[in-house]
Amino acid sequence: MKLLFLTALFCMFFVNLSAQDLVYKPRNPAFGGDTFNYQWLLSSAEAQNEFKEDAGNGFEQPTELERFKQNLNNQILNQISNSLFQKQFGTGGIKEGAYVFGSLSVDIYPSNLGLVVDILDTDTGEQTQIIIPGN
């Protein structure tokens, strides 16, 4: 009798079960989701964002005095570099060879593209190559 009762109980609960297909629908409107989800997604992303925009870190135009100071510094540095260049190479221009300026190692050599200037910063390992086209 217990077995019959359990079987009847089992049939009552599980006979009306049915299955359906699982369908994936994206939420993000960029991937085919509903466009009304955009505001919800944006507000959710902004709520999780730990970085806040600081109005004081934006770019500010330099004043006339700052630009004048920077221009004057550039001209002084240009004159010093021209003077060093004239002392090192003379009035004949750049000559082939290897040169050392502090921590900078400069190698100058000709190639089929023109005159190649390799500059290596021995402190940081940074390297730059300049090619001066020939005539």
Q: What is the 3-state secondary structure (H, E, C) of 55-99?
A: HHHCCCCCCHHHHHHHHHHHHHHHHHHHHHHHHHHHHHCCCCEEE
**Amino acid 135: pLDDT:** 54
User: How far, in Å, are 1, 5, 12, 14, 18 from residue 9 at the CA level?
Assistant: 12, 6, 5, 9, 18
- Cβ-proximal residues to 112 (8 Å cutoff; 6+ apart), any chain: none
Local confidence pLDDT in tens for the 135 residues of the chain:
777 777 776 766 666 667 788 888 888 888 888 888 888 888 988 899 888 777 666 678 889 999 999 999 899 888 887 877 777 667 776 778 888 888 888 898 988 988 888 999 999 999 999 888 865
Strands 127-133 vs 104-111: parallel, antiparallel or unpaired: unpaired
**Amino acid 130: pLDDT:** 86
d(CA 117, CA 115): 7
Q: Which H or E element spans position 48?
A: helix 38-48
**Amino acid 113: pLDDT:** 86
d(CA 67, CA 27): 51
User: How far, in Å, are 92, 98, 125 from residue 122 at the CA level?
Assistant: 28, 14, 5
d(CA 86, CA 92): 9
pTM: 0.39
